[in-house]
Amino acid sequence: MNTDTRLEKPGGSGPGTSGPGEADESAFSGLAERHRRELHVHCYRMLGSFEDAEDTVQETFLRAWRRRETFEGRSTFRAWLYGIATNACLDLLAKRRPRPATDGEVLWLQPYPDRLLDELPADDADEPETLALARETIELAYVVAVQHLAPRPRAVLILRDVLGWPAKNVADLLGDSVNSVNSALQRARAGLREHLPARRQDWSGGEQDDGTRAIVRRYTDASLATDIDTLAALLHDDVRTSMPPTPGLYVGRDAVVTYWTESGFQDMQHLRAVPTSVNRQPALAFYHQQKQGDAYLPLTIDVLRIAHGAVTEIITFHDDQFPRLGLPQSLPPDGTA
């Protein structure tokens, strides 16, 4: 096991538990940078925004450097950084204007590319349950649900249930009692259940199986043909669709189909799709050709949640997300990739 790259609970020992106080800036930066991706994912869970998470990680590293003398080796260097990152997120949430979050809709939500999630440190010793938990807690359904929690209970939930911190360490970080942390955790879990689909299997797709891939192919073909009837047949009765940051949440097959029809989707032509994946979910990047002979340009990205043989949620993102997802900025007009 590589204890340098494994997410550890505070209070442990191992590489990186001493030295930052004496390190020069270059050496300190090297120690911190090896944890950048997992800190970024942590801040993303807290904030729901890829861009806000990037800014917060930069703030975390700045604070860590300024406070390097306070690292006493009583926890791992990684845990020390997580504590600073958590407080940086809480400070950002306290300073920015409240953002309204309706049930199932978070207008500041941004996707997280799987290609970047693949940079997270792997540990061959991880149990399947741990891997499943990591996957479930990065899916959009979970990230959206977490955004409905007040900041401090949100932090408690993520530190306790996602990162596995003991209650005492969370209490020390937040300046609360263990009883207060445990109470906040129970409230956060209850609040989370209110905003997640009723059954766990409804919101955790897990690894894509053959059935899921078949639905994605059918969804792709029907979308390119702008065949609303076929698309409707793929939808679950209580499907939900939204398009952050554009307001509007549509719930139920009829409401979604009406929205598609009224928006003129069936009249669109010259579409192409590139399969991708974000937040450990299947996604399709759509491109549109304005005039014959022109290149196909980015249009939207549909992120799908599939359960029980049907599409249960579609979150659509705008074309400004294409560069972050590593998608091409255009496709050639002749149909070749």
Is 37 found in the same domain as 116?
yes
> What is the model's pLDDT at position 3?
30
pTM of the model: 0.88
Q: How crowded is residue 122: how many other Cβ atoms within 10 Å of its Cβ?
A: 12
Domain-located, residue 274: yes
Q: How crowded is residue 39: how many other Cβ atoms within 10 Å of its Cβ?
A: 24
Beta pairing class for 235-243 and 310-318: parallel
Is 198 found in the same domain as 104?
yes
Nearest to 214 by CA among 187, 189, 234: 234
Domain-located, residue 303: yes
Is 49 found in the same domain as 101?
yes
Domain-located, residue 328: no
Domain-located, residue 327: no
Q: Which of 171, 187, 203 is the last residue of a domain?
A: 203
What domain range includes position 274? 210-321
Q: Which of 203, 228, 254 is the last residue of a domain?
A: 203
Structural domain total, the chain:
2
> What is the model's pLDDT at position 72?
77
Three-state secondary structure call for residue 268: coil
> What is the model's pLDDT at position 208?
63
Is 187 found in the same domain as 253?
no
Is 196 found in the same domain as 54?
yes
> What is the model's pLDDT at position 124?
43
Q: Which residues of the chain have pLDDT under 70?
A: 1-23, 98-103, 122-133, 198-208, 335-337
Structure tokens at 185: 């955790």
Domain-located, residue 20: no
Domain-located, residue 337: no
Domain-located, residue 314: yes
> What is the model's pLDDT at position 75?
81
Q: Which of 203, 232, 265 is the last residue of a domain?
A: 203
> What is the model's pLDDT at position 174?
94
